[in-house]
Chain A
């Protein structure tokens, strides 16, 4: 038996439902695969790309000047710029959700249709998110100080980091 779509021998015998009625199809392997494969649109997974795509389209409605200003905003804690986030679709640190709150709100609305969490809450609430973000910032500054060979500054920063780490460990054991 020949394939109904080309002249190769038919090796696949497919029963298709057309308006609820079975219809027999005889196809070669290649035509059968093309026939059975879900279309790319269906199979494509939009999830990983979605945040990036949406983030790129955040610009809609903004003038070039506004967008340029927005893109240049840099998180003081991790140092990521809004432009970098728009390009990668990944944020740099927990503080970005605070620092870029206004910019992220339409994005969250787009993705989730909601902007407020109502699910599980950690039992051990943080002893102050400030301390944690301070740690991220100080570690980054220390690394930069070392890179610029400003060792005195780096050692001051290291002491500050140790102090906060010690404080948070005491709080944890309480």
Chain B
């Protein structure tokens, strides 16, 4: 499998089939691990890094040979990649921005369905992550726990009985676990309740991030909720802490949607239709505007205001209209202004759906 083939496809987690997938995009759990006999990545020499990669790739190879993990894995040497390909993997959520922008020998291994990815020599020697569609943290935890056990059978992790798994940054020490759920909360943004939500989440020690993790803006009304604390609670307790708050957020978002439908349906329908109209006709469009409008369209589909579009199609468009994806899909490196033209053209093609379908479902004038 090469990255060009990957561009046209999309990960299992985007298929929009998991529990509560109208609002919950994905559930992700990642573990931070380090090999006991090497310094942490920031102080590792080139030969240390190469040796860490060799050991971990070897371990993964032997798991494939023993039939314990799927054989259709993709090994990518991140250091050797062109910048557009690194960015592509970030957009795909297979590597972090830190990994893309890092230095020295580093790589990522992931499966064909993009259910798991293993980053080697990121901030820690090993970052194992599992992604599930919708709200499904239990299954994500089981998979990542198993993968961790399998890798650990033949390598010695840096671990201390008192403070647990040792990580380069003390913010990850203990369990090394980060449990995140990505939610689409457009009406909490429209009704400006989102800030209240943030404040209450911070109070219970949960972090809120944008689509692309640390430091990213909440583009397209996507928010990732995750644990801040990693020490002093079990992995299950940390997972539960995130899992417990998600139904509350889903409930708020649904209530806000019902409220808007009840109190200002015309405005809401207008917003959705205009967004859909622009996406289907624009000749040049930025990534930010696309995300903003796709968010309204996604909400519109969930509310039955647009009848002929499927959620997985929109989920895919969020990713495929990102700068690196557009360039991979078109096969050309493009400047920002050319990307905006290419993006508009791609959207027109993807959304070229017979217009009569628009009005069939959920049109208030027909109800």
Q: Establish whether residues B157 and A78, one from each chain, have CB atoms under 8 Å apart when the complex forms.
A: no
Q: Are B231 and A114 in contact (CB under 8 A)?
A: yes
How far apart are B288's CB and chain A's nearest CB, in angstroms? Answer: 9
Say whether A148 faces chain B, with CB atoms less than 8 Å apart: no
Beta-carbon contact of A17 and B192 below 8 Å: yes
CA distance A44 to B214 in the complex (A): 9
Chain B residues near A44 (CB-CB < 8 A) = 215
Given contacts A136-B37, A136-B38, contact A13 B170 (CB under 8 A): no
Q: Does B307 contact A (CB under 8 A)?
A: no
Kindly supply a per-residue 1/0 record for chain A positions 100-139, scoring 1 wherever the CB is within 8 Å of any chain B CB and 0 otherwise.
Answer: 0000100110011111111111111111010111011001
> Least Cβ distance of B178 to chain A in Å?
9
Instruction: Evaluate contact between A38 and B195: CB separation under 8 angstroms.
Output: yes
Contact with B along A51-78 (1 / 0, CB 8 A): 1000000000000000000000000011
State whether B175 touches A122 (Cβ < 8 A): no
Measured between beta carbons, the chain B residues less than 8 angstroms from A80 are 43
Contacts of A133 in B (CB 8 A): 36
Contact of A124 among B45, B156, B164, B217 (CB under 8 A): B156
Choose, from A2-10, A84-92, A151-159, the stretch at the interface: A84-92
> Does B181 interact with chain A (Cβ within 8 Å)?
no
Q: Please, which residues of chain B bring their CB within 8 A of the CB of A79?
A: 43
CB pair A92–B40 under 8 Å, yes or no, is: yes
Residue among A13, A48, A119, A139 making CB contact with B174, cutoff 8 Å? A119
Cβ–Cβ < 8 Å partners of B234 in chain A: 118-120
Contact: B40 with A15, CB < 8 Å? no
Quick one: closest B residue to A84, CB to CB? B43
- Assess A97 versus B166: contact at CB under 8 Å? Given A38-B218, A45-B209, A92-B40: yes
Nearest-neighbor residue (CB-CB) of B260 within chain A: A15
For residue A36, CB closer than 8 A to chain B, the reply is yes
A50, A117, A131 interface centre (most CB from chain B within 10 Å): A117
* Contact assessment for A115 and B159 in the assembled complex, using a CB-CB cutoff below 8 Å: no
Closest to A11 in B: B274
**CB 8 Å contact bits of B179-190 with A (1 = contact, 0 = none):** 000000000011
Contacts of B199 in A (CB 8 A): 42
Q: Which A residues touch B216, using CB under 8 A?
A: 45
**Secondary structure of the B side of the interface?**
loop
Given A50-B171, A123-B149, A123-B152, verify A129-B160 contact (CB < 8 Å): yes
- A98 and B177 CA atoms in complex are apart in Å by 21
Contact between A17 and B191 (Cβ–Cβ < 8 Å)?
yes
Residues on A with C-beta less than 8 A from B232 are 112-118
Interface size on B, residues (CB 8 A): 72
Nearest CB in chain B: distance from A138 CB, A: 10
Interface residues of B in 102-157 (CB under 8 A from A): 123, 145, 148-149, 152-154, 156-157
B154, B198, B264, B271: the one within 8 Å of A38 (CB): B198
Whether A43 lies near B210 (C-beta < 8 A) is yes
Contact between A94 and B192, CB atoms less than 8 A apart:
no
Nearest CB on B from A136, distance (A): 5
Query: What is the CA–CA distance of A22 and B263 in the complex, to the nearest angstrom?
Result: 8
Structural contact, B191 and A16, CB atoms closer than 8 A: yes
Question: In whole angstroms, how far apart are the Cα atoms of A129 and B162 in the complex?
Answer: 13
Residues of A within 8 A of B238 (CB): 119
Using Cβ atoms and an 8 Å threshold, which residues of chain B touch A46?
207
**Known pairs A93-B38, A125-B159. 19 more at Cβ < 8 A?**
A17-B259, A42-B199, A79-B43, A90-B40, A90-B42, A90-B169, A97-B166, A114-B174, A116-B162, A117-B164, A118-B234, A119-B164, A121-B161, A126-B36, A132-B156, A135-B37, A168-B37, A168-B156, A172-B156
Binding site for B on A (CB under 8 A): 13-17, 22, 24, 36, 38-39, 42-48, 50-51, 77-80, 88-94, 97-98, 104, 107-108, 111-127, 129, 131-133, 135-136, 139-140, 143, 168, 172
Q: Which residues of B contact A (CB under 8 A)?
A: 34, 36-40, 42-43, 45, 48, 123, 145, 148-149, 152-154, 156-166, 168-171, 173-175, 177, 189-195, 198-199, 205, 207-210, 214-218, 228-235, 238, 259-260, 263-264, 267-268, 270-271
Show 10 residue pairs from A and B whose CB-CB distance is below 8 angstroms, ordered by the A residue: A15-B260, A38-B194, A42-B199, A45-B209, A45-B214, A88-B42, A90-B168, A108-B231, A115-B162, A119-B177
